[in-house]
Amino acid sequence: MFYRTILSGCGAYLPERIVTNKELSKTLETSDEWIQQRTGICERRIADNNELTSNLAVNAARNALENSGVSVSEIDLIVLATATPDKTFPATATKVQADLGIFHGAAFDIQAVCTGFIYALNVADNFIKLGQARNALVIGAETFSRILDWKDRRTCVLFGDGAGAVVLSAAEKGDKRGILSTHIRSDGRHQDLLHVDGGPSSTMTVGYLRMEGREVFKHAVTNMSAILLEALAENKLEANDIDWLVPHQANKRILDSTAKKIGLPAEKVVLTVDRHANTSAASIPLALSEAAGDGRIKQNDLVVLEAMGGGFTWGAAVIRW
Ligand code: UT7
């Protein structure tokens, strides 16, 4: 039996504390003007010390469940994309599963950094297509504030904390909506351009995020526009068929350049980087949740997701809403 996967609902959670560029400029040699001009970021959310990735994920998951009409007992798979797990093990997804009161099915983490949500969507979609799960929670949740070197102005101003989630369900027969295709890629030759300089097996420390921003920028535009065109072609679609592009939110200039490269008007790109900064695996479900919640994304719209992150990893998904 081969099922199609539909998105039954989206949810989001952002920590309360807002940190503006101006606040950062009090302790760093930076300015609101530099950050806005180079990235489009105005502010970001930062989690409290006692707020863990799993807490953010559970809040986003509850919100997605409320919006989906699917009950918690019907969830038989949780796939959590994160590069900032609560602990080295067990998977943060199992903590989320326990906190939601789910004691059946399976829960595991996926690590593809900023492309994590697309990877998680790909995996959960395949579970549902094959009939191995009926209703899945796919979550992107991050506390990047914990792995930032707050003295490095080249990286620490760029990221924020947050979580987003979607509920995926097996579609009723004949429903033409849902995930049309997902596409994931990686190329490990570039891992030093964006990485964390610690880890249990290498340094026995957590480490800090390090990035060659300008190099990553170039690869991001090239890889994201290429996979986007590939994803459209596979579905016999063109850029002007897209109603909403929901990209990973790293830098407004990357979003503008990618949209321009494929000939998509900027008004069709959902933008949250101004308020959330780069929340890694959480950025796409946060943006999706916002655009679906405020009525921009409507039933039957063609929604395309795309991301690029450390590894390098990159990917895209095409969805009929
Ligand atoms: O989510 C995964 C994917 N990540 C990304 O896609 C990020 C991709 N990269 C970028 O978004 C951009 O490359 C950055 C926003 C990281 C940097 O922008 P840029 O235009 O590439 O700047 P740059 O790194 O070339 O730096 C230009 C100047 C440098 O000064 P000098 O050497 O020209 O004197 C930096 O030291 O800006 C300086 N600079 C800053 N100045 C004020 C770097 N960071 C800051 C800062 N405030 N926060």
Instruction: Cite the residue boundaries of each domain of the chain with CATH code 3.40.47.10.
Output: 5-170, 178-320
For 8-47, the DSSP string reads: EEEEEE--S-EEEHHHHTTTSS--HHHHHHHH---EEE--
Atom of ligand 1 at shortest distance to CA of 24?
48
Say how many Å lie between the CA of residue 304 and the centre of ligand 1: 28
Q: What is the pLDDT of residue 175?
A: 84
Residue-averaged pLDDT of the chain: 97
Output the residue whose Cα is nearest ligand 1's atom 16: 213
Say how many Å lie between the CA of residue 276 and the centre of ligand 1: 18
Q: What is the pLDDT of residue 176?
A: 87
Q: What is the pLDDT of residue 116?
A: 98
Q: Cα 233 vs. chain centroid, distance in angstroms?
A: 23
pLDDT at 1 over 70: no
Report domain 178-320's class: alpha beta
d(CA 62, CA 316): 25
- Coil, strand, or helix at residue 267? helix
Q: Candidates 195, 214, 256: which one to mutate for ligand 1, based on the most atoms within 8 Å of Cβ?
A: 214
pLDDT at 4 over 70: yes
d(CA 308, CA 221): 9
Q: What is the pLDDT of residues 210-231, one digit of tens each?
A: 999 999 999 999 999 999 999 9
**Is position 156 annotated as part of the catalytic site?**
no
Output the residue whose Cα is nearest ligand 1's atom 10: 213
Of 114, 122, 156, 195, the catalytic one is 114
Average pLDDT score over residue span 290-300: 97
Say how many Å lie between the CA of residue 103 and the centre of ligand 1: 45
**Diameter of the chain by CA atoms?**
59
Average pLDDT score over residue span 300-320: 98
Pocket around ligand 1 at a 6 A CB cut-off:
30, 34-35, 38-39, 114, 153-154, 157-158, 213-214, 216-217, 220, 250-251, 254, 278, 308-309
**Is position 278 annotated as part of the catalytic site?**
yes
Instruction: Work out the burial of residue 161: count CB atoms within 10 Å of its CB; fewer than 13 is exposed, 13-18 middle, 19 or more buried.
Output: buried
Alpha-carbon distance values, 51 to 61, 93, 162, 192, 298 (Å): 15, 16, 11, 30, 33
Q: What is the CATH number of domain 5-170?
A: 3.40.47.10
Confidence at 174, pLDDT banded by 50, 70, 90: confident
